[in-house]
Amino acid sequence: MPYLILLILILALVFGPQWWATWTFRRYSTNRDDIPGSGAELARHLLQKMNIADVGVELTDKGDHYDPQARVVRLSPANHDGRSLTAVAVAAHEVGHAIQHHRSEKLLAMRTRLIRTAQLAQQVGAGLMFAIPVITAITRAPQSGVLMFLVGFGSMGMATLVHLVTLPVEWDASFGKALPLLTHGRYINERDERAVRQILRAAAFTYVAASLASLLNLARWFRFFRR
């Protein structure tokens, strides 16, 4: 029974934030007649209002995000074309990242560098994990396998660290940029502010949910090499 309780707690810790964020987005995803424009229209309007003329808005099927290299806010179909609280809040959140980039804020620049490093390290780590049995068999030295395992395991774990380190960037995009824009510009009414705060909180914690999920992947590799 204690092991079952521990398993449930671990699953809740790893998947809970992800489930909560998804549930929050869906809860407020119903289109409303009192919302005058789509998420894409709001994003373009906010960018124009902030005098950010070199950033575009595009439709994507790879999740809502701001691409600092292409300088474009990319929104999923529901948030690009929808007129829901989720569409409005998520669009404003991604515009928040564009504002960070436009102002050359150091936290966003650091996050961008860290993500590139983590992606490369994760690929290298996965390659080393698969190469361990071959290298160990060729060298007949178990120490080389242990060393490669530690290097690979550590490099793959960087993704978890990066997601957690960059939480302040996401939080600022939600509550330092998006919420003031939405409330001061009266794009949302007072009765919807609480719901919008929940959506913006979910948007900020998306990276935390991803980092916790990546821990599970590391645990799988650890169990595999203990066999």
Count other Cβ atoms within 10 Å, centred on residue 39. Answer: 30
94 is catalytic: yes
The gap between the terminal CA atoms of the chain, to the nearest Å, is 25
Report the C-alpha gap between 201 and 17 in whole angstroms. Answer: 11
| Coil, strand or helix at 69 | coil
DSSP string computed for 3-33: HHHHHHHHHHHHHHHHHHHHHHHHHT-S--T
Q: Among residues 58, 94, 105, 170, which one is catalytic? A: 94
Cβ(96)–Cβ(168) under 8 Å?
no
Report the C-alpha gap between 126 and 128 in whole angstroms. Answer: 5
Burial class (CB in 10 A: 0-12, 13-18, 19+), 115: middle
Catalytic residues: 94
